[in-house]
Structure 1
Amino acid sequence: MEKIQNQKHTKETLYYSISRMLERASYYGLRALVVLYMVGEILKMERTEALSIYGWFTASLVFSQIVGALFGDLLIGNKKSIIIGGIIQAIGAFSLCIPSTIGLYLGLFLIVLGSGFFTPNIISNFGKTYLNKTKLLDSGFTIFYLAINLGSFLGILLIGYLGEKYGYNIGFVISGILMLISIIPIFLSKEKGLDEIEKNKFSISKRILNILIAFIVVGLFWGLYELSSIRTFDLQLQLSEISTLDIPSYLWQSLNSIFILPISIIAIVLWTYFYSSQFFKLMLGFIFGAISFGILFVIPEVPTEQNTIIYLFSLLFLAISEIHIAPIIHSILTKYSNPKYLAILISLAFLPTKLISLIFGLFNDKLYDNPMLGLKIGIVGMTIIGIGMIGYVIINRKTTYNNV
Structure 2
Amino acid sequence: MSAPISQKHPKGLYVLFFAEMWERFSYYGMRAILLLFLIDNVRGGMGLNAAEGAAIYGLYTASVYLLTLPGGWMADNVLGQKKAIWYGGIIIMLGHIILAVPGGTGIFFLGLVTVALGTGLLKPNISSIVGELYPEGGARRDAAFSIFYMGINLGSVLGITIVGYLGQKINWHIGFGAAAIGMLLGLVVFKLGSAKYLRGFGDVPPAKISTPESAQQTKSNTTLGYGLIVLLIGFLSVLQWTGTIDMTTATGLAQGAGVIIVSVSSFYFLFILVAGGLTPVEKKRVFVLIVFFLAAALFWSGFEQAGSSLQIFAERHTQRSIGTWEMPSSWFQNFNGSFILIFAPVMASLWIFLSSKGLNPSTPVKFALALILLGIGFFVMEMAAKEAVTGSLVSPLFLTFTYLFHTIGELCLSPVGLSSYTKLAPKRYVSQLMGIWFVAASLGNLIAGLFAGNFDENNVQQMPALFNQVTLFSIGFGLLLLVFWKPVKNWMGGIQ
Pick the TM interval, shorter chain: 0.7 to 0.9
Other-structure match for 2:298:
220
Does structure 2 conserve the Cα–Cα contact (< 8 Å) formed by 1:231 and 1:374?
no
**Which amino acid in 2 is paired with 1:213?**
V
Other-structure match for 2:468:
376
Other-structure match for 2:430:
342
Counting only pairs closer than 5 Å after superposition, residues 258-277 of structure 1 correspond to structure 2 as 258-275=338-355, 276=360, 277=362
Counting only pairs closer than 5 Å after superposition, residues 55-66 of structure 1 correspond to structure 2 as 56-66=59-69
Provide the rounded CA distance (Å) in 2 between the counterparts of 1:223 and 1:238.
22
Other-structure match for 1:29:
29
Counting only pairs closer than 5 Å after superposition, residues 157-306 of structure 1 correspond to structure 2 as 157-162=161-166, 170-187=174-191, 188-189=193-194, 190=198, 191-192=200-201, 203-225=281-303, 230=309, 234=313, 237-240=316-319, 248=327, 250=329, 251-275=331-355, 276=360, 277-298=362-383, 301-302=386-387
With 98-107 and 12-21 compared, the bigger mean Cα shift is at 98-107
* CA 100–41 in structure 1, closer or farther in 2 if over 3 Å, else same: farther
User: For residues 200-245 of structure 1, what are the alpha-carbon distances to aligned partners after superposition, in whole Å with 9 as ceiling and x for unaligned?
Assistant: 999224312211111111011122446798479647854425999x
Q: What is the aligned residue count?
A: 393
Does structure 2 conserve the Cα–Cα contact (< 8 Å) formed by 1:29 and 1:155?
yes
Provide the rounded CA distance (Å) in 2 between the counterparts of 1:163 and 1:360.
23
Does structure 1 conserve the Cα–Cα contact (< 8 Å) formed by 2:59 and 2:449?
no
CA displacement at 1:89 relative to structure 2: 1.6
Does structure 2 conserve the Cα–Cα contact (< 8 Å) formed by 1:216 and 1:352?
yes
* CA 290–356 in structure 1, closer or farther in 2 if over 3 Å, else same: closer
Provide the rounded CA distance (Å) in 2 between the counterparts of 1:347 and 1:403.
21
CA displacement at 1:344 relative to structure 2: 1.4
**Which amino acid in 2 is paired with 1:23?**
E
* CA 236–287 in structure 1, closer or farther in 2 if over 3 Å, else same: farther
- DSSP-derived class of the 1:301 partner: helix
Other-structure match for 2:420:
332
- DSSP-derived class of the 2:134 partner: coil
Other-structure match for 1:4:
none
Does structure 2 conserve the Cα–Cα contact (< 8 Å) formed by 1:82 and 1:121?
yes
With 166-175 and 122-131 compared, the bigger mean Cα shift is at 166-175
Other-structure match for 1:20:
20
* CA 353–373 in structure 1, closer or farther in 2 if over 3 Å, else same: farther
Provide the rounded CA distance (Å) in 1 between the counterparts of 2:337 and 2:179.
21
1:390 matched to 2:482? The reply is yes
Which consecutive unaligned segments of at least 5 residues does structure 2 have? 1-6, 208-277
* CA 12–398 in structure 1, closer or farther in 2 if over 3 Å, else same: same
Provide the rounded CA distance (Å) in 1 between the counterparts of 2:44 and 2:393.
41
* CA 394–165 in structure 1, closer or farther in 2 if over 3 Å, else same: closer
**Which amino acid in 2 is paired with 1:10?**
P
* CA 223–78 in structure 1, closer or farther in 2 if over 3 Å, else same: same
CA displacement at 1:117 relative to structure 2: 1.1
**Which amino acid in 2 is paired with 1:203?**
V
Provide the rounded CA distance (Å) in 1 between the counterparts of 2:91 and 2:410.
31
User: For residues 94-113 of structure 1, what are the alpha-carbon distances to aligned partners after superposition, in whole Å with 9 as ceiling and x for unaligned?
Assistant: 33444433654443332222
Other-structure match for 2:243:
none
* CA 214–53 in structure 1, closer or farther in 2 if over 3 Å, else same: closer
Provide the rounded CA distance (Å) in 2 between the counterparts of 1:152 and 1:384.
30
Provide the rounded CA distance (Å) in 1 between the counterparts of 2:161 and 2:310.
25
Provide the rounded CA distance (Å) in 2 between the counterparts of 1:104 and 1:345.
31
* CA 237–178 in structure 1, closer or farther in 2 if over 3 Å, else same: same
**Which amino acid in 2 is paired with 1:325?**
L
Other-structure match for 1:91:
94
With 297-306 and 323-332 compared, the bigger mean Cα shift is at 297-306
Which consecutive unaligned segments of at least 5 residues does structure 1 have? 1-6
CA displacement at 1:41 relative to structure 2: 9.9
With 337-346 and 297-306 compared, the bigger mean Cα shift is at 297-306
Does structure 1 conserve the Cα–Cα contact (< 8 Å) formed by 2:59 and 2:446?
no
Root-mean-square deviation (CA, aligned residues, Å) is: 4.0
* CA 373–78 in structure 1, closer or farther in 2 if over 3 Å, else same: same
**Which amino acid in 2 is paired with 1:122?**
I
* CA 360–18 in structure 1, closer or farther in 2 if over 3 Å, else same: closer
* CA 321–233 in structure 1, closer or farther in 2 if over 3 Å, else same: farther
The sequence identity of aligned pairs, in percent, is 29
* CA 267–76 in structure 1, closer or farther in 2 if over 3 Å, else same: same
Counting only pairs closer than 5 Å after superposition, residues 56-135 of structure 1 correspond to structure 2 as 56-101=59-104, 103-135=107-139
With 125-134 and 75-84 compared, the bigger mean Cα shift is at 125-134
* CA 54–329 in structure 1, closer or farther in 2 if over 3 Å, else same: same
- DSSP-derived class of the 1:254 partner: helix
With 61-70 and 349-358 compared, the bigger mean Cα shift is at 349-358
Provide the rounded CA distance (Å) in 2 between the counterparts of 1:171 and 1:308.
25
Provide the rounded CA distance (Å) in 2 between the counterparts of 1:118 and 1:311.
31
Q: Give the structure-2-normalised TM-score.
A: 0.66
With 110-119 and 376-385 compared, the bigger mean Cα shift is at 376-385
**Which amino acid in 2 is paired with 1:93?**
H
